[in-house]
Structure 1
Amino acid sequence: MKKTVSFLVSGRGSNFHAVAQAIIKGSIPAKVGIVISDKPGVKALDIARELSIPAFFVNPKDYSTRQEHEKAMLELLKKYHTDLVVTAGYMRLLTPYFVNEFKNRIINIHPALLPSFPGTHAQKQALDYGVKISGCTTHFIDEGTDSGPIIMQKAVPVYDDDTEDTLSARILKEEHQILIESVKLFCQGKLTVKGRKVYIVR
C-alpha cells in the first residue's frame, strides 16, 4: 500500500513542488496528502491548488499556544492519513509534542552540510566562514534545531565570487535531488534509524 506524503511550507514551495511532481509522475511510490502553510498567500499554496492538492493555511495567531497550533495541524495530517511529513521551507521550529507524534517520519531539507551551519541563513553562514565546500542535507527532525539523524548529503563548491543568491541557487538544484531520493527511500521502506545513524537498504 502506498504511503501518503504531506508537506509543511512557509514560502515559494520549490522543494515541495519538486517532490509532489515526482510523486505525481510515479517516480516516488506514494500518494500526495495535503499541504499546510503557516503563512497566507504564499506561492506554495498556489502550486498546491494548481496540482489539485488540498491546501490549508493554519494561522498560528489563531491559537494561544504553539501546542494548540500544532494540534490543529496534526488533526489535519491524520485526517488525510499522512505517513510522512516533509518540511519544505517551513520556517517554524516544531515542538517535541509534534515531533513525537511523527517520530522518524518528518524529513527536512537544509541548505548546508550539517552539522555545520544549522538554523537560518545557512548559505550566508557558509560564505561568512569562508568554506570552500557547502551543500545540503536531508535529515529526520528531532527535538533540536537541524540536529536529527542525517539521511543524505550532497556537496557543492563555493566560489570566490559567490553571493548568497548564487550559492543558494547552486545548492537548491541539489536539494531537489536528494529530497526526492530521501522521500523515495522512505516510501520504499529502505530507511532504518538506529540512534544517530540512518541506514539505507540498497
Structure 2
Amino acid sequence: MLKLVVLISGGGSNLRALLEAAHDVEYPARVVAVGADREADGFAHAEAFGIPTFSVPFSSFDGREAWGDELLAQVQQWDADLVVLSGFMRLLPPRFVAALSPRLINTHPAYLPEFPGAHGVRDALAAGVAETGASVIVVDNGVDSGPILAQERIPVLPGDSEATLHDRIKVVERRLLVTSILDIANGTLDLTETTHA
C-alpha cells in the first residue's frame, strides 16, 4: 500500500479525486496527510475524509530555502512513499527536490514540454493551438521539465475560455494522476527508471 502526502495551494480538485479513489479498498494507495503553503480551501476535502493537514506558510520564513527545509521536515514526518503536488503553485527549493525525487510527482495542464509554467492553459489559448493536453511528471529543479509519466491530448474547442478549457483539462488530469499512482503502486511504472521523453 503506497502512502501519499499531497501538497496543495488552492481548492484541491485533484486531491478530491485522489481521496475518492483511495477510499476504494481495492486502490493500492492511501493519502496519509495533506499539506499546503497557505491556508487552502482544499483542506476541507481532507477533513471530510478524516485526513490530517498541515500548513507551512511561505510568509513565515526568511527565504525559499528555510521554508523548503521546514516543508520537507513536515512531509518526512509522514514517511510517505510518494509526494504528490496537486495544484501546488510554489517552486520547491533544490534541497527539497533532491531529498524526495523521483518519488515527487506533479500534474500540469498542458502537453509538456509545450506551455510549461503557471499559465499553461492561458498560454495555449494565446498561441491559437488546436489542441493542448494534460501531463503527469516527476518533479525536477526546472519548471515543469521533469520526466513525463503520462500525458494525453485535449482539443481546444471554438469559443473556449481559459475557464472552460481548464475545466476539461482537469477531468483528464485527475484521471491521469489516479492511474499513474495505481501504476506506480502496481510496479508497472518504475520511477527509478524514468527518463525524459
- With normalisation by structure 2, the TM-score equals 0.94
CA offset at residue 59 of structure 1?
1.1
Q: 1:163-196, CA deviations, whole angstroms, 9 ceiling, x for partnerless residues?
A: 1111111111111100101111112222234462
Equivalent residue number for residue 175 of structure 2: 177
Deviates more, 1:5-14 or 1:49-58: 49-58
Q: Structure 2: which amino acid aligns with 1:16?
A: L
Aligned-residue Cα RMSD (Å) equals 1.4
Which sections of structure 2, spanning at least 5 residues, go unmatched?
none
Equivalent residue number for residue 7 of structure 2: 8
Deviates more, 1:2-11 or 1:188-197: 188-197
Q: Secondary structure at the match of 1:153?
A: strand
Q: Contact between 2:149 and 2:194, CA under 8 Å: does it hold in 1?
A: no
Q: How does 1:106-125 map to 2 (within 5 A)?
A: 106-125=104-123
Equivalent residue number for residue 18 of structure 1: 17
Could you tell me which of 137, 140, 143 is aligned with 1:142? 140
> What is the distance in 2 between the residues matched to 1:31 and 1:160?
39
> What is the distance in 1 between the residues matched to 2:10 and 2:18?
15
Equivalent residue number for residue 130 of structure 2: 132
- With normalisation by structure 1, the TM-score equals 0.92
Aligned structure 1 segments of 4 or more residues deviating by more than 6 angstroms: none
CA offset at residue 28 of structure 1?
2.7
Percent of aligned pairs sharing the same letter: 36
Q: Contact between 2:29 and 2:181, CA under 8 Å: does it hold in 1?
A: no
CA offset at residue 27 of structure 1?
4.7
> In the alignment, does 2:169 pair up with 1:155?
no
Which sections of structure 1, spanning at least 5 residues, go unmatched?
none
> What is the distance in 2 between the residues matched to 1:141 and 1:26?
28
CA offset at residue 197 of structure 1?
4.0
Q: 1:141-168, CA deviations, whole angstroms, 9 ceiling, x for partnerless residues?
A: 0110000000001111111211111111
Q: Structure 1: which amino acid aligns with 2:115?
A: F
Q: How many residues align?
A: 196
Equivalent residue number for residue 35 of structure 1: 34
Q: Structure 1: which amino acid aligns with 2:16?
A: H
